Homo-oligomer: A and B are copies of this chain.
């Protein structure tokens, strides 16, 4: 059984031409019902498996939708991935993904590797890329989607939200509940462009609302995890004691920070408020539950999938889609 069965084999066995086999298996209406059934039976008998590689090659259309993600180990991106997969379920598109580890150089490598598979479209998580990446994508002449961000210079379609503006909602809420001295906890600027946008947004919003200068607390290179939030608080507790709110770049970081704060005897939200980002499950379940932003990770995936499918199937025009989502503030127990 080590040789593979092709349509030619089926054709020989069934006594028809390969073309008829092709038509029969594709349920092309132009083939006689009896012939189709016979071909189908022979195919089953021989254990035939369709060869998408050959079809993709011939049609010059791979059926792949390429996707880059910073990390697979992040519930937010996983949600987008899941929604994307589901909104593609009815189509013949298949996801082909590359993990960039929050690194634009690695992203470039992945884009190169993905483009070599001739995807029908490319979805990039994030709006920061190397020049070469941009060049590669432009000359690939396929639809490009940038999601999860609003890039300054979009390559093609955009489905995301402003990380900077989003922080305004959080800072507003903190200011309204009387907090004045904020600290921001996030990964280093060069490893997490998205997180850095949140940092800048927090600083800007605090300034606009007349709060004290934001204390910048950096936890090292991305990804920012529960552990990094916990360790940062342990390390910087002296400076943190002077604050009345800790704005965290994500929910896991907020949770880690909260565990450390409680361990050190501070009460939440009494002594200090804590906010997260992303509406991860932990923020709803933890005690106290964490005030956070829902950015519509699922909606991003669903919209992107639908939009990509419409463009690729020619239903909608190729005009650049710019879809700006508005994050939703979820006030919970960590901000009193």
Chain A residues near B (Cβ < 8 Å) = 1-2, 4, 47, 49-54, 56-57, 62, 72-73, 75, 78-79, 81-82, 85, 94-97, 99, 112-113, 115-118, 135-136, 138-141, 225-227, 230, 252, 255-256, 259, 262-263, 281-282, 284-287
Contact of B285 with A259 in the complex, beta carbons under 8 Å: yes
Measured CB to CB, the closest approach of chain B to A200, in angstroms, equals 27
Determine the distance from Cα of A75 to Cα of B79 in the docked complex, in whole angstroms.
Answer: 13
Number of copies: 2
Question: Could you list 30 examples of A-B contacts with CB < 8 Å?
Answer: A1-B141, A2-B141, A4-B141, A47-B139, A49-B112, A49-B115, A49-B136, A49-B139, A51-B118, A52-B116, A52-B118, A53-B57, A53-B117, A53-B118, A54-B57, A72-B72, A78-B78, A94-B96, A94-B113, A94-B117, A95-B97, A97-B97, A225-B281, A226-B281, A227-B284, A230-B285, A252-B281, A255-B282, A262-B287, A263-B287
Known: A72-B72, A78-B78. 9 other contacts (CB 8 A): A4-B141, A49-B115, A53-B53, A53-B56, A53-B57, A57-B57, A73-B82, A82-B99, A252-B281
Contact of A79 with B85 in the complex, beta carbons under 8 Å: no
Chain A binding surface SS class:
helix
Chain B CB within 10 Å, residue with most, of A95, A97, A140, A230? A97
Measured CB to CB, the closest approach of chain B to A137, in angstroms, equals 11
Residues of B within 8 A of A95 (CB): 97
Contact of B99 with A96 in the complex, beta carbons under 8 Å: no
Determine the distance from Cα of A284 to Cα of B178 in the docked complex, in whole angstroms.
Answer: 33
Contact of B230 with A139 in the complex, beta carbons under 8 Å: no
Contact of B78 with A73 in the complex, beta carbons under 8 Å: yes
Residues of B within 8 A of A141 (CB): 1-2, 4
Pick the contact of A78 from B49, B72, B286 — CB < 8 Å?
A: B72
Residues of B within 8 A of A56 (CB): 53
A227-B285 contact, Cβ under 8 Å, with A52-B116, A139-B47: yes
Residues of B within 8 A of A47 (CB): 135-136, 139
Give the residue name and chain of the B residue nearest to A114 (CB): B94
Contact of A72 with B81 in the complex, beta carbons under 8 Å: yes
Residues of B within 8 A of A78 (CB): 72-73, 78
Determine the distance from Cα of A255 to Cα of B50 in the docked complex, in whole angstroms.
Answer: 45
Contact of B73 with A73 in the complex, beta carbons under 8 Å: no
Measured CB to CB, the closest approach of chain B to A45, in angstroms, equals 11
